[in-house]
């Protein structure tokens, strides 16, 4: 599943035409799901109305060809409920809810936050743990408590630790689906039982990412390793600066989106252009 970028014009306004082209391209290339307005989609700098509209447009453009998961997390519980309610009305198939950022809730606070959203909005919900960006790490025992709630159906785990994946799968078993949120360790995570990858790299190499994920989920280590070895330069270079700076620059170089990115994010630094371009060229993407 692709954590899709929100294309923007040079002035920072949303480029709806490019969003349509991206979605059609992803589906043609084999992407299995569209995750709209997550971290990669610059959720932090979209206004409420823009956030709502990107989800509405994504649902409309996908037109039920693949599932749409809407990013609706927030560090205020009421805000997350408001966004999640809108996504349900817009027709999203599920919502992606990041752990509250900056205010650093306790494990009990995390449980109550996600419990409140699940009780307020009857839509399948995917929890999202990314401590490097939020400043809080949702522990496996908290995830296990939340897995008992019927409409909390999955976790996107982006800690980047295969050991953590082992712990989650052991702790939760069949209680919910576990997805990787870290491209660099996604292959190993799927080989130990994760159900897929919500991917940044898939923005630029969707077909190859789909094939690698399919091989890893099937337990075909040899094929998965062969494909992932081709992808590793992208996994690395697309995080030379904070996401989505490198991936938006890469997509611009591929001619798929314009140059727009919103402050406080800035265009990719000049000295990173060559390694990102080399990684793209290695897969004949530029």
> Token digits for 23?
């979605």
> Token digits for 183?
């491209």
Judge whether 169 is annotated as a binding position: no
Judge whether 261 is annotated as a binding position: no
> What is the spatial distance between Cα 260 and Cα 257, in angstroms, rounded to a whole number?
8
> What is the spatial distance between Cα 190 and Cα 215, in angstroms, rounded to a whole number?
9
Taking each helix axis from N to C end, the angle separating 48-62 and 16-29, rounded to the nearest 10 degrees, works out to 40
DSSP code string of 61-123: HHTTSS-EEEE---SSHHHHHHHHHHHHHHT-SEEEEEPPPSS---HHHHHHHHHHHHHH--S
CA-based nearest residue to 23, from 37, 5, 49, 9: 5
**Is the separation of the CB atoms in 97 and 143 below 8 Å?**
no
CB neighbourhood size of 63 (10 A)? 10
> What is the spatial distance between Cα 18 and Cα 210, in angstroms, rounded to a whole number?
22
Catalytic residue among 111, 128, 159, 248: 128
Catalytic residue among 104, 111, 156, 159: 156
Cα-atom radius of gyration of the chain, to the nearest Å?
18
Has 128 been annotated as catalytic? yes
User: 97 pairs with which residues across the strands?
Assistant: 127
Question: What positions carry a catalytic annotation?
Answer: 128, 156
- Name the binding residues for pyruvate: 40, 198
Binding-site residues from annotation? 40, 198
């Amino acid at each position: 599943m692709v954590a899709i970028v929100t294309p923007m014009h040079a002035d920072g306004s949303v480029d709806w035409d490019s969003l349509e082209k991206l979605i059609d391209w992803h589906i043609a290339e084999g992407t299995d799901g569209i995750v709209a307005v997550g971290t990669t989609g610059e959720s932090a700098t979209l206004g409420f109305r823009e956030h709502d509209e990107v989800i509405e447009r994504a649902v409309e453009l996908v037109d039920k060809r693949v599932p749409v998961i809407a990013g609706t997390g927030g560090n205020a519980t009421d805000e997350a409920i408001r966004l999640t309610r809108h996504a349900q009305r817009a027709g999203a198939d599920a919502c992606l809810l990041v752990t509250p950022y900056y205010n650093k809730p306790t494990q009990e606070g995390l449980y109550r936050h996600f419990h409140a959203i699940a009780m307020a909005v009857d839509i399948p919900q995917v929890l999202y743990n990314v401590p490097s960006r939020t400043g809080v790490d949702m522990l496996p025992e908290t995830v296990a408590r939340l897995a008992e709630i019927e409409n909390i159906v999955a976790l996107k785990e982006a800690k980047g630790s295969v050991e953590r994946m082992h712990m989650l799968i052991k702790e939760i078993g069949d209680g919910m689906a576990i997805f990787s949120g870290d491209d660099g360790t996604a292959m190993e995570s799927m080989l130990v039982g994760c159900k897929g990858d919500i991917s940044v790299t898939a923005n630029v190499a969707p077909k190859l990412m789909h094939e690698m994920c399919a091989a890893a989920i099937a337990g075909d280590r040899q094929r998965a390793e062969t494909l992932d070895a081709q992808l590793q330069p992208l996994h690395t270079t697309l995080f030379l600066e904070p996401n989505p700076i490198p991936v938006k620059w890469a997509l611009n170089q591929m001619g798929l989106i314009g140059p727009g990115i919103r402050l406080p994010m800035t265009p990719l630094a000049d000295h990173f252009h060559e390694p990102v371009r080399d990684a793209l060229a290695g897969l004949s993407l530029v």
